[in-house]
Amino acid sequence: MLRRISELTLAKFCGIYSGIVFGIYWIPLRHLESAGFPGIWATSIFNLIATILIVPVMIFNWRRFVPGRPRFHFICFGTGLGYALYASAFLYTDVISVIVLFYLMPIWGFVLARLVIGDAITPVRWSSMVIALLGLWVILGQGTEVPIPNNVGDWMALVAGLLWAGLSLMLLTDDPEQPINYAVGFIGWGCIISLICAWLATHYGFEQAPQWSGLKGELMWLLPFAVLIIIPAAVATIYGPTKLNPGIVGLLFMTEISVGTVTAAIWAGEPFGTPQLIGVLLITLAGVLETAWVYLRRRPAAQTS
């Protein structure tokens, strides 16, 4: 029982950590953009460096990554595709539409878990969804309406959220697998897909070609960043869904919005006032509400026993 609680707690911290990392992700992305790697090319470079670094893991445990494991590769391909679609969507539509449409993910996650494995959508979970979406609405502006997909970028963001919800459920119900193997597959497939997206965006004139000559000068910080931040974040991103309801995973991932709002205010001069503060607090409350509720219910029981 204690081990189960420990695993769930670790999974929740992993979800929060993933949100924190992706909340600061824009900082090195902007730096790479200024160095000659615009848009999706910056994301592709991160994935490429991380993939090169994990090649020894692939070689050492090669039997886990060879063809013949369709479910494993489907999950890794799907998560990599969802990540690439989310990162690329910002090129084709406005930021608000991408964030709102992708972060409908908790709703899809709770509904899928209910339909597929019968996991109840409790009043606390309904409350968490409402609070999280309210926080998102406050941060993005009270005049913001739920966007209806009407261009390719909107659909990319919506599909990315659906993919992550569905694949999070597959990770939860899959046969026992080391999270590191899923993380390696996720990084590898994400690299392939993002490079293809970057090439297509450049080929069709949506993005400028990268300046490869500037890559050598960026390796001094790219390599440690990949080792210390990107690879651990990939493991954390995969580990959370292997233990948690996909709706909970979506709520924890929303930490990205709070961290991104705060860091953008500090380092990019973005506005941060009362609405942003209220939104951050609401999203934070939504992420911890179920855990706090379980703890408060167990505490009286422990005191009476």
pLDDT level of residue 223 (50, 70, 90 thresholds): very high
Is 185 part of any domain?
yes
Q: CA-to-CA distance for 279 and 226, rounded, in angstroms? A: 30
The pTM of this model reads 0.87
pLDDT of residue 263: 87
Kindly indicate the confidence band of residue 232, based on its pLDDT and cuts at 50, 70 and 90.
Answer: very high
1 in a structural domain: no
More confident position, 304 or 100: 100
> Mean per-residue pLDDT for 176-183?
83
Within a domain: 17: no
> 237-260 pLDDT, tens per residue?
999 999 999 999 999 999 988 998
> Does a structural domain hold residue 16?
no
Please give the tally of structural domains in the chain.
1
pLDDT at 1 exceeding the cut of 50:
no
pLDDT digits (tens, 9 = 90+) for 188-205: 999 999 999 899 989 988
- Using an 8 Å Cβ cutoff, are 92 and 206 in contact? yes
In the chain, DSSP finds a helix count (H) and a strand count (E) of: 15, 0
Q: Which two tokens stand for residue 31?
A: 């730096």
Range of the domain at 166: 26-304
Q: Are 188 and 54 in contact (CB under 8 A)?
A: yes
How far apart are the C-alpha atoms of 79 and 238, rounded to whole Å? 9
In a domain, 290, yes or no: yes
For 69, what's the count of Cα atoms within 13 Å in the CB-facing half-sphere? 16
> Which of the given ranges, 88-97, 148-157, 209-218, has the highest pLDDT on average?
209-218
What's the one-letter identity of residue 197? Answer: C
pLDDT above 80 for 10: yes
